[in-house]
A and B are shown apart, each in its own frame.
Chain A
Amino acid sequence: MPTISVFPKSEEAPILLHAQGLCKAFGGQVVLDKIELELRQGEVILLRGENGSGKTTLLNILTGNLKPDSGEINYFSNGSPRSYCFPQRWWQELNPFDHFTPEFVAREGIGRTWQDVRLFGSQSLRDNLAIAMSNRFGDNPFFALFSPHHVIEREVEINQAANTMLTHLGLAGREDSSADKISLGQSKRVAIARAVLSGAKILFLDEPLSGLDRQGINDVLTLLQSLVNEQHLTLVIVEHLFNQSHLQGLITTDWLLDNRDITVSTAQTPIHVSSTDTARPAWFSLLAGKNTDFIEESLPHGALLTRIRQPDFFNSPSNPVLEIKDLVINRGQRDIIGLDDQGDIRGFSLTLYEGEIVILQAPNGWGKSTLIGAISGLITPRLGDICLFGQSINDNPVWERIHKGLKVLTSNEKLFPNLSVKEIIEITNNQTDISIFFPNIANRKCSSLSGGEKQRLAFLCQIAPSLSSTLNVLDEPFHGLDYNAVAEVITHLLSGLKTKAVFITIPFGYKP
């Protein structure tokens, strides 16, 4: 862990961004309600809140990726102040030089990084950094064609700056490597450097530590520390609960989004995340019942596997339901699943036995949905073997896996938007009395349901009792549900007579 010392924040430090009265609603659901905030130079903000509290929405608004319904945003970070008022007038929409868009906001000195990194995969690392820097002549095709001398002159400077930055990032000698052939930690650092080189004075970082191993986290923290201390950049960091403890000492201000409002406080109270709090949430007892054994196993990159078994589990022979052997899954050129904490390929292995409920808690970006995709046949693993009820299903398409007893609830809402609830229940051959679950909405179209209602409907479809033995695989099944709804669906899940085993993935620290 690097030693962190922070650029001293002064109350007199200039304000770089001020927003007031920001409101945003999606389909009637208010996410942000009259938010007011300001950012001063040198501040390091931790933006936190529960899942769905509007962190990403706020970040998208402040970086020009999303327009608020109403409110005002003033940027002072680039010398001349610029103000945007919402809702905008129709003539403002037509003005090609004053749009509230990511490119215009970026020119005000606002940079951002994404949780999924978003480097330009087909280009070299040098080009990924070089593109962030302005080449007044080279960015114009006319000058690129007729004034190559000016273009090349500036290009030499830009390439030198990019090479220096790559050396600073510990990537000297990798300048010509393709951006999709470096590790996730390296990608995250290159993405941060790219935003800095674009001239950002305020940097919004969306989960910069997610999916990283210990070394990767330290490297990113060292980079952030140098940006704050040496370049006096202002940072706004959205980070998952699990990784917030790593940021202690760096954070100067805390923004807590809760109940559509924001609470600003100085980060005097250390943000402490108890491992037991995140490891075993209270709602696990709903799944476990009384006298149940919990067996916990740590997995690489901060994931935790919890097995819930009945007390007599070891007294009777148990058959394996799902066997995952030495699995390696890649996304593009990068391996996602199957790496150890050092980044070496070890292969991911897991066996689920009959009667078990296994819960995988992992941070965002760990690859939970990728793993579910490989089990269900939507993603082809690079290496390894997956067996269901003792038979290899590697070569089976999705529908054959379903026929063999696999039931998958994906985290995406893949329901039929134009069918009614009743029709959707019918096409899944579900005999459940829908009046119990959906007393008033049986005839409503799926597209008109709220997020929670859709999740309950998807859940009901996926766990429909079937005649054959099943393995239920559920990717973030409780997303959008309150505690009572979670209790309700868990009761239903456990009543599935033919369910042999259940595999659930959830984000770390999930609390309904």
Chain B
Amino acid sequence: MNYLLHLLVYFDIYAILALSLNLVVGYCGLLTLAHASFYAIGGYACALLMLTANWGFLPAMLTGAFLSAVASLTISLSAWRLRGDFFVLASLAVQTLIYSAIYNWSSSKYPIGSWENLTNGSFGLTGIPSPKLFGWEINGTFDYAVFATGVAGLCGFILWRLKSSPWGRLLLAMRDDELAARGLGKNTRLAKIQAIAIASAIAAVAGALYATHVRYLNPDSASLDESILMLNMVIVGGLGNFRGPLVGAAILVGLPEILRFFDFPDAQAANLRLLIYGLLLVLLMHFRPQGIAGNYRLE
């Protein structure tokens, strides 16, 4: 039972990430590889504030979301002028920059969380406290699964309401034909900044959930592999609607778990998983470019 609840928590976290990434990729048509960076910023900010400043989960998480939204300006400002491949490259540069900062911002002489040793480098942060919310200490797996599902539901509701609003319609128009939208007086630059900031802030919430669930955080959470996994979820599940990213998150969270039942040695299982990811992507691009449940084809 605990195993399934753990799986549910992971699904919740990746569902939040895939839904938020879909706002940028599926609704704005901007393919980004930097989403894991903002996820990690949220996780690290929340963990550090709880560890070193004894902040509660909620203010720490919200601060992480705010910092992540501010950091997202690094890619949204480049989206003003860059499109297509050039925007992907700019997002890759931001991803590498933030990953390197997290990986290298350490010094064994100084305490964790100090300016000189902010992230503790490759050793990561350990002993992150469990979240406490309005007197409810979320300690057990069941409690955490309920909590994570609630947070995922709230994030999903926020994104659904935004997607259904005139602002969501503006994003779709911008994706279909940015010049035509600008010709109607729509400030597409501002819309891009807003969409990327909101997606990054929501990814940071997922980061805070992950940090407080696993209670350990290292730079791997900001790695390019992690970004690609998130992107896979959106592309495999389907772009441009609400159900696609949920389907993608369910498949890519469930797939490695299914492989566990085949008794492959660990070393082979990891490679096999990557092989299946790659194969899945190639097959989908050929036979169903809009993803399993999507309705927008990324050009």
> In the complex, how many angstroms separate the beta carbon of A86 from the nearest chain B beta carbon?
19
Segment from A193-201, A268-276, A442-450 that makes contact with B: A193-201
> In the complex, how many angstroms separate the beta carbon of A50 from the nearest chain B beta carbon?
26
Residues of A84-142 contacting chain B, CB below 8 A: 101-103, 106-107, 111-112, 114, 118-123, 127, 130-132, 134-135, 138-141
On whether A120 and B177 interact (CB within 8 A), knowing A140-B167, A144-B162, the answer reads yes
Residue in A102, A122, A123, A145 whose CB lies within 8 Å of B162: A145
Residues in chain B within 8 A of chain A (CB atoms) = 158, 161-162, 165-170, 172-173, 175-177, 179-188, 194-195, 198, 240, 295-296
Q: Which residues of chain A come closer than 8 Å to B179, judged between CB atoms? A: 65, 102, 118
A2 in contact (CB, < 8 A): no
Residue in B165, B173, B187, B195 whose CB lies within 8 Å of A138: B165
- Cβ–Cβ contact B161 & A144, under 8 A: yes
Q: Which residues of chain A come closer than 8 Å to B296, judged between CB atoms? A: 122
On whether A123 and B173 interact (CB within 8 A), knowing A102-B179, A141-B194, the answer reads yes
On whether A130 and B172 interact (CB within 8 A), knowing A107-B185, A141-B194, A141-B198, the answer reads no
Instruction: List 10 additional A-B contacts (Cβ < 8 Å) besides A102-B182, A103-B183, A107-B185.
Output: A112-B183, A120-B180, A122-B172, A131-B166, A131-B186, A139-B166, A140-B167, A145-B162, A195-B183, A198-B184
- Cβ–Cβ contact B169 & A141, under 8 A: no
Residue in B165, B170, B183, B186 whose CB lies within 8 Å of A151: B165
On whether A144 and B167 interact (CB within 8 A), knowing A114-B180, A118-B177, A120-B176, the answer reads yes
- Cβ–Cβ contact A131 & B173, under 8 A: yes
> In the complex, how many angstroms separate the beta carbon of A185 from the nearest chain B beta carbon?
19
Q: Which residues of chain A come closer than 8 Å to B186, judged between CB atoms? A: 103, 131, 139
Number of interface residues of A (CB under 8 A): 36
Q: Which residues of chain B come closer than 8 Å to A148, judged between CB atoms? A: 161, 165
Per CB-CB distance, the 3 closest pairs between chain A and chain B, nearest first, are: A138-B166, A144-B165, A106-B185
Q: Which residues of chain B come closer than 8 Å to A138, judged between CB atoms? A: 165-167
With A and B bound together, what is the CA distance between A148 and B181 in angstroms?
23
Q: Which residues of chain B come closer than 8 Å to A111, judged between CB atoms? A: 183-184
With A and B bound together, what is the CA distance between A213 and B177 in angstroms?
26
With A and B bound together, what is the CA distance between A148 and B170 in angstroms?
16
- Cβ–Cβ contact B161 & A103, under 8 A: no
> In the complex, how many angstroms separate the beta carbon of A473 from the nearest chain B beta carbon?
28
A36 in contact (CB, < 8 A): no
Residues of A187-205 contacting chain B, CB below 8 A: 194-195, 198-199
Q: Which residues of chain A come closer than 8 Å to B176, judged between CB atoms? A: 120-123
Residue in A63, A112, A119, A130 whose CB lies within 8 Å of B169: A130
> In the complex, how many angstroms separate the beta carbon of A121 from the nearest chain B beta carbon?
6
> In the complex, how many angstroms separate the beta carbon of A77 from the nearest chain B beta carbon?
13
Residue in A114, A120, A151, A199 whose CB lies within 8 Å of B173: A120
- Cβ–Cβ contact B184 & A131, under 8 A: yes
A155 in contact (CB, < 8 A): yes
Q: Which residues of chain B come closer than 8 Å to A127, judged between CB atoms? A: 169
Q: Please, which residue of chain B has its CB at the minimum distance from the CB of A103?
A: B182
Most buried by A among B166, B180, B186, B295: B166
Q: Please, which residue of chain B has its CB at the minimum distance from the CB of A99?
A: B189
Residues of A225-243 contacting chain B, CB below 8 A: none
With A and B bound together, what is the CA distance between A116 and B240 in angstroms?
24
- Cβ–Cβ contact B167 & A103, under 8 A: no
> In the complex, how many angstroms separate the beta carbon of A148 from the nearest chain B beta carbon?
7
On whether A106 and B183 interact (CB within 8 A), knowing A138-B166, A151-B165, the answer reads yes
Q: Which residues of chain A come closer than 8 Å to B182, judged between CB atoms? A: 101-103, 106
Q: Which residues of chain B come closer than 8 Å to A198, judged between CB atoms? A: 184-185
With A and B bound together, what is the CA distance between A195 and B166 in angstroms?
18
Q: Which residues of chain B come closer than 8 Å to A194, judged between CB atoms? A: 184
On whether A145 and B170 interact (CB within 8 A), knowing A103-B186, A106-B182, A120-B177, the answer reads no
- Cβ–Cβ contact A139 & B170, under 8 A: yes
Q: Which residues of chain A come closer than 8 Å to B184, judged between CB atoms? A: 103, 106, 111, 131-132, 194-195, 198
With A and B bound together, what is the CA distance between A230 and B269 in angstroms?
72
- Cβ–Cβ contact A139 & B167, under 8 A: yes
Q: Please, which residue of chain A has its CB at the minimum distance from the CB of B179?
A: A102
Q: Which residues of chain A come closer than 8 Å to B173, judged between CB atoms? A: 120, 123, 131
> In the complex, how many angstroms separate the beta carbon of A480 from the nearest chain B beta carbon?
25
Q: Which residues of chain B come closer than 8 Å to A101, judged between CB atoms? A: 182
With A and B bound together, what is the CA distance between A122 and B186 in angstroms?
18
With A and B bound together, what is the CA distance between A194 and B175 in angstroms?
17
Question: C-beta contact mask, A132-171 vs B, less than 8 Å → 1, else 0?
Answer: 1011001111001100100100010010000000000000
21 pairs of residues in contact across A and B, judged by CB atoms under 8 Å:
A65-B179, A65-B183, A103-B182, A103-B183, A106-B183, A112-B183, A118-B177, A118-B180, A119-B180, A120-B173, A123-B169, A130-B169, A131-B170, A131-B181, A131-B186, A139-B167, A141-B162, A141-B198, A144-B162, A144-B167, A145-B162
- Cβ–Cβ contact A130 & B166, under 8 A: yes
With A and B bound together, what is the CA distance between A102 and B179 in angstroms?
8
Residue in A63, A121, A122 whose CB lies within 8 Å of B183: A63
Q: Please, which residue of chain A has its CB at the minimum distance from the CB of B180?
A: A118
Q: Please, which residue of chain B has its CB at the minimum distance from the CB of A112?
A: B183
On whether A131 and B167 interact (CB within 8 A), knowing A141-B194, A198-B184, the answer reads no
Q: Please, which residue of chain B has its CB at the minimum distance from the CB of A144?
A: B165
Most buried by B among A102, A114, A119, A155: A102
> In the complex, how many angstroms separate the beta carbon of B180 from the nearest chain A beta carbon?
4
Q: Please, which residue of chain A has its CB at the minimum distance from the CB of B158?
A: A145
Q: Which residues of chain B come closer than 8 Å to A107, judged between CB atoms? A: 185
With A and B bound together, what is the CA distance between A244 and B182 in angstroms?
29
> In the complex, how many angstroms separate the beta carbon of B242 from the nearest chain A beta carbon?
15
> In the complex, how many angstroms separate the beta carbon of A122 from the nearest chain B beta carbon?
6
Q: Which residues of chain B come closer than 8 Å to A102, judged between CB atoms? A: 179, 182-183
Q: Which residues of chain B come closer than 8 Å to A151, judged between CB atoms? A: 165-166
Q: Which residues of chain B come closer than 8 Å to A131, judged between CB atoms? A: 166, 169-170, 173, 181, 184, 186
Q: Which residues of chain A come closer than 8 Å to B240, judged between CB atoms? A: 122
Q: Which residues of chain A come closer than 8 Å to B169, judged between CB atoms? A: 123, 127, 130-131
- Cβ–Cβ contact B187 & A103, under 8 A: yes
With A and B bound together, what is the CA distance between A376 and B66 in angstroms?
54
> In the complex, how many angstroms separate the beta carbon of A191 from the nearest chain B beta carbon?
9
> In the complex, how many angstroms separate the beta carbon of A464 from the nearest chain B beta carbon?
34
